[in-house]
Chains A and B, each alone.
Chain A
């Protein structure tokens, strides 16, 4: 940071990211005292507690947990956050919250690292002149006293759409007091296609909420519902519950997916149709025509009477249609968020015709603005050009970086007389604004939120703000010049109108949800009048022989907002296994056509924009289509994000924000750039029985064929003495989507270092738990099977007997233990590990990072020194803590009392953990399933981790 230095009045962390002891204790004490956490203009110094008089709820060494809510894309996800000595260290899902159901995805898991990001904005400061919140208020705050409706003309707020009742109430208040003040909502995460589609189908914009648990047949039209959706954690759980097999007789739902890029949802499909995003509309029409009876769609008949396409598409449509007709009321058709309104309209129509509305899908009043964010932003751009904006306050987001290229929004921001940006980072927008204001991380701030289904919950801080930051609500209040600017007070004020508020407040903070606040379903009746025009309208579609380009939110950094998070940067992409960057995904034939292969480049030009980006060949990707992940090649001041990957926004325009049908694409060989940091180069299983799978039919016919029951390998040795619990894990490949939430959870829980791009290129990833991806089936109809792979805790562990110094030995309760301080680092154990799950500290990873990041460290887990091996411990720290708890209560451990980090995070409950000494424990029962098997069991390692073979459920009248 340069320019005139301001004293950080309330900051506990200095520029270098160092935490001074006194300040840390201050943060600590205050962080502990949950009441009065709001950061006011003048913080209440007398509240700052020295640790000697420690607050009652803190016992050193014992974690405390607080419920709070993380807002992403405008919707809240309820979380329970672990705090150690006042430091949030680990994020878990909140079982009571509808969007979480106890699970937490990669973004929720990684958000705790974002809190301690050393690159965060620290103090409110203008480009020149005096800084500080008072100075900001002088420049921007309105004076309600000298009222008048003209008050505030020229003041404009640009913010991300949010469902937060508090924020919206403040916006309303502002609008009523000062009608002249402008508001614009923009975020690449906000999709309006669904609501558009509803407007066409039902006459007014509505928001669909699905209930996959009641759906026997699920048809996804380019919709990644299991991984990229505000409700994806919930949907994933419901989907999994619909296909979790406890016995051969259990029923299983069936998933049809048509998509261009390979998504995690596509990976779970029973029938996946690689299809260009632009052609999905045709598929939808064909599906509508094939599914509904003529009288059901009589009005639309003329528009649908097109020759049904042939080839794989035809058979896919036939099978899906048959299944849908057979499962009226128990099926659901889901259109992809980035798909045009017509696809959503058809999906709605189909759901209505099949009687799914009210069972598997319900509609609620929209919680977010229905105007397309791109057009909203265009309007604002016009206003700026017209000189109607002289004070622009940007609350969050990163419009300069993510706005449609043709708006050249950054320049427009700079043209505004005075502008301010409230954000966590010095990103592109911050660089364009006159003022940069530090935003509060959600773990530091008060507020409230609504989940995708409308359920409200509070945002509760766990720690006193590390820097002199403010939340969006507080800045709105400051700008309004209102007396209360303290979010804590504001949120209480808003909700105090509720009956017996004090009870509600306490109970909601404790449970993490405000009960009975879900939006009521509204009736939605199909009206062809609205649908026909869109059916008639010719929609955007690339010519057969030209290559379509589509933009996708990256599953790791979304629109780029998480690009400065090293955990997410180093997380392998669920399908491509690419880390530290993005690449143009394309199918094998398209690659051949362009004369390139993985690692070469494609150069794409459209409008004024031209980019050159490395290519990565993905079997099963739709041909004649290229997928560009957004959010990389950032040019802000964030040290981690800067220049990682390629920025593809220059191609993204107002009218074609997601599907680009007429770009000029050309292959460049050889690629000029560095090699891609991919953690798994090899595609197939080499015909080895590693990640096993079979169709439901085959499994029912004869389970032995896919997963021969495990006979213990003959051994010369007497079995080792076992005492007490015998820990074991089972991973159900049938429901594992490969979303990788477990990987980040493990990283957060176990202080796993990041090795950076160079480290990955050298194949030195440190992840204790990795998710292996194998392609099965033919190139055209490739399917993906994901297999989480961590230490298998073999009873006859090959790693143990080769260690010369007894640094890895077996515990009586069946853990393969790694004794860091005894390890001399021969790496012999890794060589003899058939699963290659052991990691080595090539350098001193532990201490090389800014001190502020140390605050995230889990004090229950050793930070490993240079030169020692490490690996999955089955979260031994959790096992021991539970054991101590049970011991103090003079009782035995209960089944399910010990939950590993990966298990707790898993949205689909694919991971079971427990003790084998109880034959009725979940894990014991799961191991008795016929499809349970040991990976490489033939080696006689007797792993304690077993897998349940993946069963998928293709339509009998369609070969896979």
Chain B
């Protein structure tokens, strides 16, 4: 069956939230909301599941620490043991700083890579960019995009208008 993708522009967060509620009732399809800044309360309304990035971050942190510790042990105590200042080969207290630093480094890099993967960024093109007026989404406008069945389109448009959309555009969905 045919679907089309509707986009609506709003001037305020209030009307945006209202619009999201209405569309939710109409369609189970994915709804994308774009805003110039983060609006935490949308998460529940859109029913976004909790981000898994903290786990990614923790895991990569542990990995970083492990690498750091192993590296120091291998190079200084195992592969080429040397008498340095009469200190023991396995002088682990001296290895703490590097281990800590690499743990943090690992976590940070892991987190950011995780973010890019989760958001499927970077990307140079998105359908939304084609809509006239969409560029104000990073300044002061709020956009809502939803895929609806052709027969529902009319009613959805009404809902959006009722919610206070100041502009509604549609692009064919394939």
Binding site for B on A (CB under 8 A): 717-721, 794-801, 803, 806, 809-812, 942
Interface residues of A: mostly helix, strand, loop or mixed? loop
Decide: B85 and A796 in contact? CB cutoff 8 A: yes
B119 within 8 A of A: no
Nearest A residue to B86 via CB reads A796
Write out the residue numbers on chain A whose beta carbons fall within 8 Å of the beta carbon of B84.
800-801, 803, 806, 809-810
Write out the residue numbers on chain A whose beta carbons fall within 8 Å of the beta carbon of B80.
806
Nearest B residue to A796 via CB reads B86
Decide: B85 and A810 in contact? CB cutoff 8 A: yes
CB distance from A941 to the nearest CB of B (A): 9
CB distance from A660 to the nearest CB of B (A): 57
CA separation between A720 and B85, bound complex, in Å?
9
Bitwise, B86-110 to A at CB < 8 A (1) or not (0) is 1110000000000000000000000
Decide: B86 and A942 in contact? CB cutoff 8 A: yes
Write out the residue numbers on chain A whose beta carbons fall within 8 Å of the beta carbon of B85.
794, 796-801, 810
B38 within 8 A of A: no
CA separation between A719 and B84, bound complex, in Å?
12
Q: Indicate the member of A720, A721, A803, A809 with the most B CB atoms within 10 Å.
A: A720
10 contacts between A and B (CB under 8 A): A720-B83, A794-B85, A797-B86, A800-B84, A800-B85, A800-B86, A806-B84, A809-B83, A810-B83, A942-B86
Decide: B83 and A718 in contact? CB cutoff 8 A: no
Binding site for A on B (CB under 8 A): 80, 82-88
CB distance from A494 to the nearest CB of B (A): 60
Write out the residue numbers on chain A whose beta carbons fall within 8 Å of the beta carbon of B86.
717, 719-720, 795-797, 800, 810, 942
Nearest B residue to A812 via CB reads B83
CA separation between A609 and B127, bound complex, in Å?
102
Decide: A809 and B82 in contact? CB cutoff 8 A: yes
CB distance from A823 to the nearest CB of B (A): 15
Write out the residue numbers on chain A whose beta carbons fall within 8 Å of the beta carbon of B87.
717, 796, 801
CA separation between A794 and B82, bound complex, in Å?
15
Q: Indicate the member of B82, B83, B86, B88 with the most A CB atoms within 10 Å.
A: B86
Write out the residue numbers on chain B whose beta carbons fall within 8 Å of the beta carbon of A794.
85
CB distance from B144 to the nearest CB of A (A): 58
Write out the residue numbers on chain B whose beta carbons fall within 8 Å of the beta carbon of A796.
85-87
Interface residues of B: mostly helix, strand, loop or mixed? loop
Tally inter-chain residue pairs, CB-CB below 8 A: 38
Write out the residue numbers on chain B whose beta carbons fall within 8 Å of the beta carbon of A721.
83
CA separation between A794 and B85, bound complex, in Å?
8
CA separation between A810 and B80, bound complex, in Å?
13
Write out the residue numbers on chain B whose beta carbons fall within 8 Å of the beta carbon of A797.
85-86
Write out the residue numbers on chain A whose beta carbons fall within 8 Å of the beta carbon of B88.
717-718
Q: Indicate the member of B82, B87, B88 with the most A CB atoms within 10 Å.
A: B87
Nearest B residue to A722 via CB reads B83
Write out the residue numbers on chain B whose beta carbons fall within 8 Å of the beta carbon of A806.
80, 82, 84
Write out the residue numbers on chain B whose beta carbons fall within 8 Å of the beta carbon of A720.
83, 86
Write out the residue numbers on chain B whose beta carbons fall within 8 Å of the beta carbon of A809.
82-84
* 4 nearest A-B pairs in the assembled complex, by CB-CB distance: A801-B85, A800-B85, A810-B83, A796-B86
CB distance from A508 to the nearest CB of B (A): 50
Write out the residue numbers on chain B whose beta carbons fall within 8 Å of the beta carbon of A800.
84-86
Nearest B residue to A715 via CB reads B86
CA separation between A699 and B11, bound complex, in Å?
98
CB distance from B86 to the nearest CB of A (A): 4
Write out the residue numbers on chain B whose beta carbons fall within 8 Å of the beta carbon of A812.
83
CA separation between A556 and B82, bound complex, in Å?
43
CB distance from B81 to the nearest CB of A (A): 10
CB distance from A90 to the nearest CB of B (A): 31
CA separation between A811 and B86, bound complex, in Å?
10
CB distance from B12 to the nearest CB of A (A): 59
Write out the residue numbers on chain B whose beta carbons fall within 8 Å of the beta carbon of A718.
88
CB distance from B53 to the nearest CB of A (A): 36
CB distance from A750 to the nearest CB of B (A): 24
Nearest A residue to B83 via CB reads A810
Q: Indicate the member of B80, B84, B85 with the most A CB atoms within 10 Å.
A: B85
CA separation between A797 and B85, bound complex, in Å?
4
Nearest B residue to A809 via CB reads B82
Write out the residue numbers on chain B whose beta carbons fall within 8 Å of the beta carbon of A795.
86
Write out the residue numbers on chain A whose beta carbons fall within 8 Å of the beta carbon of B82.
806, 809-810
CA separation between A803 and B83, bound complex, in Å?
12
CA separation between A818 and B145, bound complex, in Å?
70
Nearest B residue to A942 via CB reads B86
Write out the residue numbers on chain B whose beta carbons fall within 8 Å of the beta carbon of A719.
86
CA separation between A797 and B86, bound complex, in Å?
7
CB distance from A812 to the nearest CB of B (A): 7
Known contacts A719-B86, A796-B86; 4 additional CB pairs below 8 A are: A795-B86, A801-B85, A806-B84, A810-B85
CB distance from A657 to the nearest CB of B (A): 57
Nearest A residue to B94 via CB reads A801
CB distance from B78 to the nearest CB of A (A): 14
CB distance from B167 to the nearest CB of A (A): 63
CB distance from A806 to the nearest CB of B (A): 6
Write out the residue numbers on chain B whose beta carbons fall within 8 Å of the beta carbon of A942.
86
Write out the residue numbers on chain B whose beta carbons fall within 8 Å of the beta carbon of A810.
82-86
Q: Indicate the member of A800, A803, A812, A942 with the most B CB atoms within 10 Å.
A: A800
CB distance from B136 to the nearest CB of A (A): 54
CA separation between A522 and B38, bound complex, in Å?
114
CB distance from A817 to the nearest CB of B (A): 10
CB distance from B108 to the nearest CB of A (A): 24
CB distance from A712 to the nearest CB of B (A): 11
Nearest B residue to A795 via CB reads B86
CB distance from A323 to the nearest CB of B (A): 49
CA separation between A942 and B83, bound complex, in Å?
15
Write out the residue numbers on chain B whose beta carbons fall within 8 Å of the beta carbon of A801.
84-85, 87
Nearest B residue to A816 via CB reads B85
Nearest B residue to A810 via CB reads B83
CB distance from A818 to the nearest CB of B (A): 13
CA separation between A182 and B82, bound complex, in Å?
72
Nearest B residue to A814 via CB reads B83
CB distance from B95 to the nearest CB of A (A): 13
CA separation between A812 and B86, bound complex, in Å?
11
CA separation between A809 and B83, bound complex, in Å?
6
CA separation between A942 and B80, bound complex, in Å?
25
Write out the residue numbers on chain B whose beta carbons fall within 8 Å of the beta carbon of A717.
86-88
CB distance from A822 to the nearest CB of B (A): 11
CB distance from B91 to the nearest CB of A (A): 9
CA separation between A937 and B169, bound complex, in Å?
86
Nearest A residue to B80 via CB reads A806
CB distance from A713 to the nearest CB of B (A): 11
CB distance from A815 to the nearest CB of B (A): 10
CA separation between A806 and B87, bound complex, in Å?
13
CB distance from A794 to the nearest CB of B (A): 8
CB distance from B27 to the nearest CB of A (A): 63
Write out the residue numbers on chain A whose beta carbons fall within 8 Å of the beta carbon of B83.
720-721, 809-812
CA separation between A717 and B87, bound complex, in Å?
6
CB distance from A726 to the nearest CB of B (A): 13
CA separation between A806 and B86, bound complex, in Å?
13
CA separation between A797 and B83, bound complex, in Å?
10
CB distance from B148 to the nearest CB of A (A): 65
CB distance from B35 to the nearest CB of A (A): 50
CB distance from B37 to the nearest CB of A (A): 46
Nearest B residue to A800 via CB reads B85
Nearest B residue to A719 via CB reads B86
CA separation between A717 and B86, bound complex, in Å?
8
CA separation between A718 and B86, bound complex, in Å?
8
CA separation between A811 and B82, bound complex, in Å?
9
CB distance from A391 to the nearest CB of B (A): 70
CB distance from A906 to the nearest CB of B (A): 29
CA separation between A296 and B82, bound complex, in Å?
73
CA separation between A720 and B84, bound complex, in Å?
9
CB distance from B4 to the nearest CB of A (A): 65
CA separation between A819 and B153, bound complex, in Å?
80
CA separation between A811 and B84, bound complex, in Å?
9
CA separation between A763 and B85, bound complex, in Å?
27
CA separation between A600 and B85, bound complex, in Å?
46
